[in-house]
């Protein structure tokens, strides 16, 4: 083989080798780019999916915690229903009775006989505490003035609570009545009966149960009325259980509704949180029952001229025999004045100055002559924003 032939073969071999090296280099670069791209995409999708995965893990943990809590506090004396049972008894949620921040309430039937109210909780609502509070708290009660819990559903994110159906709805619609034809005003005798019933229900929660139950959200919309207008305390989502010997309880958040929150709930300088906080809310509510109007208006300032308890206190000072409405009988006037004085005692600023609910029952059932007008309370109700700020700072 001559030299030129050998040189030609060598050049060809070098070209093939260079080609292979270039191909290998390209593959290495492509692989690196692919790996880098994979890492970038994984990072991007990881950040996108992380909150979703965290939410799923949290939801599963909450469900496990609820199941464990129910097991540890069981067996519960109420029936557990499946979600398909809930759909069946509400006819696929055909008739909605109301709604709120907790979810929606639907009318239903059990075995096509007994009418029930089914409260379907929002899947994303809170950490499950409200559901636990409702189920555990009410399942431990048995009183004519406490709503009767019939069952519950806990199936993943689907949570529901089943109550007796209350045909007359809530007390709120009779106090803030906008349709006098369909919902005529309640008589003074009936208002007095309702005020007594609520007081007895609260007395039972505070002293009649094996475990004291503090409601923390007493207001007209949480008082349901049966066919005979017998009041039933409902909605225990903010309730707290404590021992009967525990006078002051630890709270890390402000609970309740603006207009009914006791001063110590948002500012501990007024005193410790206790069952007297429910007494305050009750007092604001029965004053509202007398006034037939809201205690607080978003448009109004918090001055004494626009704030109802101050206004009503000044009128009580004028005289006990003051007629609040034209055409009132002496009996109706006495009921009205009695409810006002009891309400003013209940909203005293310092918790220790407020009566226990047992004393409230005595005052409502007793004679007007035995009641003294209380000192005028110093009242300031925080705005919604102020309560939120208090809650946030207390939680940190």
The catalytic site residues sit at 217
- For residues 284 and 257, is the Cβ–Cβ distance under 8 A? no
Q: How far is CA 240 from CA 131, 265, 355, in A?
A: 12, 13, 20
What DSSP character marks residue 22?
Answer: H
Q: What is the token pair recorded at 385?
A: 């924003």
Distance (Å, whole) CA 373 – CA 354: 13
* Residue 83, H or E segment: helix 83-89
Q: Are strands 79-81 and 96-100 parallel, antiparallel or unpaired?
A: unpaired
Half-sphere exposure of 393 (CA within 13 A, CB side): 9
SS (H, E, C) 347-386: CCCCHHHCCCHHHHHHHHHCCHHHCCCCCCCCCCCCCHHH
Q: Which of 253, 267, 170 is nearest to 216 (CA)?
A: 253
Q: Residue 158: CB partners within 8 Å, gap ≥ 6?
A: 83, 86, 120, 123
Distance (Å) of CA 151 to CA 160, 212, 341? 9, 22, 39
């Amino acid at each position: 083989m001559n030299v030129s032939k050998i040189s030609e073969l060598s050049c060809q071999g070098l070209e093939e080798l260079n080609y292979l090296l270039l191909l290998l280099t390209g593959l290495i670069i492509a692989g690196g780019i692919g790996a880098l791209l994979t890492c970038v995409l994984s990072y991007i999708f990881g950040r996108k999916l992380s909150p979703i995965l965290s939410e799923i893990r949290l939801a599963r943990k909450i469900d496990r915690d609820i199941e464990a809590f129910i097991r540890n506090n069981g067996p519960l004396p109420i029936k557990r229903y499946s979600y398909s049972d809930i759909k069946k008894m509400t006819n696929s949620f055909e008739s909605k009775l109301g709604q709120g921040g907790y979810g929606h309430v639907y009318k239903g039937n059990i075995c096509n006989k007994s009418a029930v109210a089914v409260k379907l909780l929002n899947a994303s609502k809170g950490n499950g505490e409200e559901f636990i509070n409702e189920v555990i708290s009410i399942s431990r009660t048995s009183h004519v003035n406490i709503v009767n819990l019939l069952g519950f559903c806990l199936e993943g994110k689907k949570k529901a609570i089943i109550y007796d159906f209350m045909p007359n709805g809530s007390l709120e619609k009779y106090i803030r009545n906008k349709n006098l034809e369909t919902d005529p005003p309640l008589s003074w005798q009936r208002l007095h009966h309702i005020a007594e019933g609520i007081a007895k229900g609260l007395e039972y929660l505070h002293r009649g149960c094996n475990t004291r139950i503090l409601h923390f959200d007493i207001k007209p919309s949480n008082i349901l009325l049966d066919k005979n207008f017998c009041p039933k305390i409902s909605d225990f989502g903010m309730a707290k259980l404590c021992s009967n010997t525990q006078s002051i309880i630890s709270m890390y958040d402000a609970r309740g509704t603006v207009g009914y929150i006791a001063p110590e709930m948002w500012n501990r300088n007024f005193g410790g949180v206790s069952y007297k906080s429910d007494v305050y809310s009750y007092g604001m509510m029965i004053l509202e029952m007398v006034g037939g109007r809201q205690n607080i208006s978003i448009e109004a300032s918090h001055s004494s001229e626009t704030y109802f308890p101050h206004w009503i206190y000044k009128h009580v000072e004028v005289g006990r025999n003051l007629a609040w409405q034209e055409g009132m009988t002496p009996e109706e006037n006495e009921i009205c004045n009695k409810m006002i004085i009891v309400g003013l005692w209940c909203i005293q600023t310092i918790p220790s100055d407020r009566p226990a609910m047992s004393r409230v029952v005595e005052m409502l059932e007793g004679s007007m002559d035995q009641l003294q007008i209380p000192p005028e309370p110093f009242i300031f109700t925080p705005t919604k924003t102020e309560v939120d700020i208090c809650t946030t700072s207390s939680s940190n």
